[in-house]
Each structure stands twice: as structure tokens, then as C-alpha cells.
Amino acid sequence: MKFGTYFAYWEREWDADYASYCEKAAGLGFDVLEVAAGGLAQRTDAELFDIKRAAQENGVEITACIGLPPQYNTASADEGVRRAGVEYLKRIMDAMYKVDSHILGGIIYAYWPCDYNQPVDKERAREAAVRSMREAADTAESLDIVLAMETVNRFEQYIINSAEEAVEFVKEIGKENAKVMLDSFHMNIEEDGLGEAIRRTGNSLGHFHIGEGNRKVPGKGHMPWAEMGAALREAGYDGAVVMEPFVKMGGTVGSDIKVWRDLSEGAGVEQMDEDIREALRFVKKQFVE
């Protein structure tokens, strides 16, 4: 297993200086830095080259993640929107290739966050999502990229809420590089048991997000870390385990994630660094030993 963190722990906006976060992540002991895929897609080739070099120099791998915005909803009933979503994923993957990144995770099979003022037609949306993911998977394969379908809680999307649904979904896509992505924060809401859900996913698991139930760094809450670790080892998981803590209010990140109180206990940057360094020690102990 490789261990990583999402850059947005320290940021209030989704776009940031990813090259400098390569150095920061490496300095804290991480093997992987996860960035916002949409941020990569906006960058020039020269900027992407700088990120790639920073990753290489610091010995970190880059993974990318996105919840697609509504205009790129790959599960849309509007064929024009659906197509635009697939094309956007191709632009993202092109940028990922340029920074040598091989995992694209998140809500790439629909859009995020779901607008529940619109009527829900799960069967229709799921069918469009499968079609879009088959198309995207072909481009991904040519660029050596795995598409990881993030299984999220019911308040954020409805197409895949459980590991069971996710396994079924990727089976239907039927592509080697279409995998399941789990996230302990969402699993805590939807699954009967976290270890059981990981075992059920087995070798379909392609990417894993971790955090406590309130999105604090691992080790500060009640998540069953030892149980998750045992299940990951049993499943033979050797992919990336990426922390996705959100503890600060403010900015687009704070409002998108709905952080309405300071979950960091007033921590400054140095304390936040120390908290996540400690969380990495904790998770490695639970997952590897």
C-alpha cells in the first residue's frame, strides 16, 4: 500500500500550487499527493511539466480526483451534456498523462453535489453513466489510467451509494481499468460494516479515501481502523490509501464540503502538519503492521 493525502486539507480553494504540495507531502512522509483533476485540466503544458518535475524530484506519485460539475454530468439525460462530460474527462486525462498520473477517482460517472430539487431517475442515470464510463475507459486505457468510481453517501449522489452497488456498476462497465473507489467517510453512513464492504469489493478496489466520520484526520475519531486494515490486507490491496481531511471553514472548499465549524481545534499550519504526520504514523500502524 502507498499512502497519500489530498492537498485541500490546507486550502480554501480547489486550485492551488500543486508543485509545492509535492514537496510538502514528501516532507511529511507521504508517497502520494492527490490533486484536483479540474485544476490539472486548466494548466498549460509548461505548468504541467513543472508539476511532473516536482513530483519526480520529491518521489511522490500524483493521483487526481474530481466531482464533475453539472455542465459535465456524464449521467445526464441530455446527450449534449453527457458528451461534454466525457470530453472533459478526456481533457483531464490528457493533463494527467503529462504529469505521469495514473489514477482518476471521484464522481466521474455523474455530477456532484447532486441537486435533489431535480427529479431522480436512477435507472436512466445509471444507464447513461455506464455508457459514459465505457467511452472514458477506452481513452484511459490508452493513457494507462485507472478510472475509480467513488462510492458516496446518499446526500451527495444516488447512482452508487454502497460497495455492493459499486462492484455491480464496474462489472457492468466491463473494462479492466474501471475500478471501485471507497471512502471511509461515506462508508460510515452507508455500510453495515466497513471491513465487510472492503472484503466484498475485493480486487475491484482501485482507490481508497480515508478520514474520520467528521472528516478529521485518521486517529481522532471512532472509525474502525484495525478492521479496515485487516480487510485491506485480506483483499490484497496494494493501491493508494489517500487521506482526505477537511477541518477548516471558509472558501469554496469549506462551503462545498459544508464545514461550518473549526474541526482543527484552532490549529495553525504547523499544528495541522503535525496532526497529519501523526495520522500517517497511526494509519500505517493500523493498515500495514
Instruction: Give catalytic residues, as residue numbers.
Output: 150, 244
Q: How far is the CB of 209 from Mn ion (least distance, A)?
A: 4
Q: Is residue 32 within 8 Å of 25, Cβ to Cβ? A: yes
Beta carbons of 87 and 129 less than 8 angstroms apart: no
What stretches of the chain show up as alpha helix (H) in DSSP? Answer: 18-27, 37-41, 45-58, 79-98, 122-142, 163-173, 184-190, 194-201, 225-234, 251-257, 269-288
Question: Is 11 one of the binding residues for Mn ion (CB under 5 A)?
Answer: no
Residues in 239-258 at the binding interface with Mn ion, rule: CB under 5 A: 244
Within 180-219, the residues that bind Mn ion by CB under 5 A are 183, 209
Residue closer to Mn ion by CB (options 130, 182) is 182
CB of 245 to Mn ion, least distance (A): 11
Q: CA-CA distance, 148 to 229, in Å (whole number)? A: 20
| Number of shown-chain residues binding Mn ion (CB under 5 A) | 3
Q: How far is Cα 277 from Cα 30, in angstroms, rounded to an integer?
A: 9
Q: Which grid cell is 139?
A: 481513452
Alpha-carbon span 126 to 76, nearest angstrom = 9
Instruction: Choose between 52 and 254: whose C-beta lies nearer to Mn ion.
Output: 254
Q: Considering only residues 127 through 186, tell me which ones interact with Mn ion, judged by CB under 5 A.
A: 183
Which of 148-170 are b and which e, b meaning 16 or more Cβ less than 10 Å from the residue's Cβ?
bbbbbbeebbbbbbbbbbbbebb
The smaller minimum CB distance to Mn ion, of residues 83 and 224, is found at 224
Instruction: Give min distance, CB of 150 to Mn ion, in A.
Output: 6
Measured between alpha carbons, how far is 6 from 229 in angstroms, rounded to an integer?
20
Cβ nearer to Mn ion, comparing 2 with 83: 2
Q: In the bound complex, what is the minimum distance in angstroms from residue 211's beta carbon to Mn ion? A: 8
Stretch that binds Mn ion, among 121-129, 132-140, 237-245, 274-282 (CB under 5 A): 237-245
Binding stretches for Mn ion (CB under 5 A): 183, 209, 244
